[in-house]
């Protein structure tokens, strides 16, 4: 018997047989659509960030008061 709890947990976990859940067509399509949504959100976010950065004046002269 191991005195270290981490070793004890790892040896006990090896004894347990893990059952892998088979992927169905529904879970695969949900993952597919979520990946598409995430990529579109990322593209939209980068475009918005680029627009904000382009709105910042290039020099301090543009901040002058009339």
**3-state per-residue secondary structure call for the chain:** CCCCHHHHHHHHHHHCCCCCCCCCHHHHHHHHHHHHHHHHHHHHHHHHHHHHHHHCCCCHHHHCCC
Q: Give the predicted TM-score (pTM) of the model.
A: 0.43
Domain map (residue ranges) of the chain: 23-56
* Percent of the chain topping pLDDT 90: 14
pLDDT at 6: 67
Instruction: Give the tens place of pLDDT for each residue, 22-36.
Output: 667 777 888 899 999
């Amino acid at each position: 018997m191991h005195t270290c709890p981490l070793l004890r947990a790892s040896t006990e976990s090896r004894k347990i047989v893990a059952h892998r859940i088979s992927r169905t067509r529904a879970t695969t399509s949900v993952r597919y659509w979520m990946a598409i949504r995430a990529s579109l959100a990322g593209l939209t976010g980068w475009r918005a960030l680029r627009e904000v950065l382009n709105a910042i004046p290039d020099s301090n002269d543009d901040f002058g008061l009339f």
